[in-house]
Amino acid sequence: MPRRLLTLAALALSAFAHAAGPDFKAVTPLPPGAALSFPKDYGAHPDYKTEWWYVTGWLNTPDGKPLGFQVTFFRSATGHDRANPSQFAPKQLIIGHAAISDPANGKLLHDQRSAREGFGLSYAKTGDTDVKLEDWRMVRTADGSYAVHVEAAQFKFDLKLAPSQAVLPEDDRGYSRKGPRPGQASYYYSEPHLKVSGNITRGGKPTAVSGSAWLDHEWFSEYVDPNANGWDWIGANLDDGGAMMAFQIRGKTGAKLWAHATWRDASGKITQFAPDQVKFTPQRRWRSPRTNAEYPVATQLTTGNTVWDIVPLQDDQELDSRRSTGAVYWEGAVTLSRDGKPAGRAYLELTGYVRAMKL
């Protein structure tokens, strides 16, 4: 084909994609007195580009050996016209990650999958939590608990997550800034101290488990500054019944671009920490034998005048999701201590250490 025809074809395709591409809603500050609305906000928000339901936790087994677990469902809107009536149009993608952290295994066991929404096989429903990815599913039941079913290559989850505390809206009543511009934000709430029961199957053998989990639900259209490289995040169920979430967004030089923390203490008092009050200070790094990336797996977190020491359950908790979201990151079970005393169990997520994180 002559070059000018190739050019015209490329321009036509570009114009079509631009014309047909959907406009996503922006995350804006909530009006005075407004709040997130439940149960509606437990469900999907397809007018925003990206959304996730992210569960992490610690499990107790009959032999007394702790396990970490994680399961995440993502909804990602594509550039296809959402008004297209065809059931074959790939307007939404559903992606799943699941993992078990067992020190006896020496590294993370994990699985991933993705599918386009449609035909009742994969979906993220509005109105309440109900996310399905073929034979993986997370649904909020009539009593407010979550039923989670995951069949991965090396393990299987059948878990019930029962709330024991009120929803924790992050930052300004659920409007969570992620950068200097107002649009760099998400709507974000957490459910700490979910009581876990059920079983995990490995090698065909089911094991009864109990424990405590943390659920994050976020939805957004723009998340971080274009100069951001990645983030460090932690969600902690504290031993005294309190809960804490903290994160920092890192720039390409490694410097902090933005940060925030929310701490609900045992009495229920909520304290929000501004960017200059939150600091992650690496104490020890682990180098991945697969990617050669160095992760600050042991770190010190400062929130205001309080210092927390974070130590991993095991060093190798690197998750390779290049077959689904395209990212490689560290995501693992950790313990917290304060003033040299145990303070809680948590999950730490470290992204952008292999390459810049893109959403």
pLDDT of 174: 97
CB atoms within 10 A of CB 359: 15
Is the separation of the CB atoms in 299 and 232 below 8 Å? yes
**pLDDT 10s digits, 214-248:** 999 999 998 878 888 899 999 999 999 999 999 99
Domain ranges for the chain: 38-83+90-350
- CATH 3.50.50.60 for domain 38-83+90-350, yes or no, is no
pLDDT of 325: 56
**pLDDT 10s digits, 94-145:** 999 999 999 888 888 999 999 988 878 999 999 999 999 999 999 999 999 9
Backbone angles phi, psi at 11, to 5 degrees: -65, -40
pLDDT of 10: 39
Residue 58: exposure state from Cβ atoms within 10 A (0-12, 13-18, ≥19): buried
Give the lowest-confidence range in 48-52, 104-108, 163-167, 209-213.
104-108
Is the separation of the CB atoms in 325 and 293 below 8 Å? no
pLDDT of 12: 37
pLDDT of 322: 60
Residue with the larger pLDDT of the pair 211 and 103? 211
Q: Which residues of 278-302 are buried (b: 16+ CB within 10 A; e: fewer)?
A: bbbeeeeebebeebebebbbbbebb
Task: Note the Cα 191 to chain centre separation in Å.
Answer: 13
pLDDT of 6: 36
Is the separation of the CB atoms in 274 and 191 below 8 Å? no
pLDDT of 79: 63
pLDDT of 80: 56
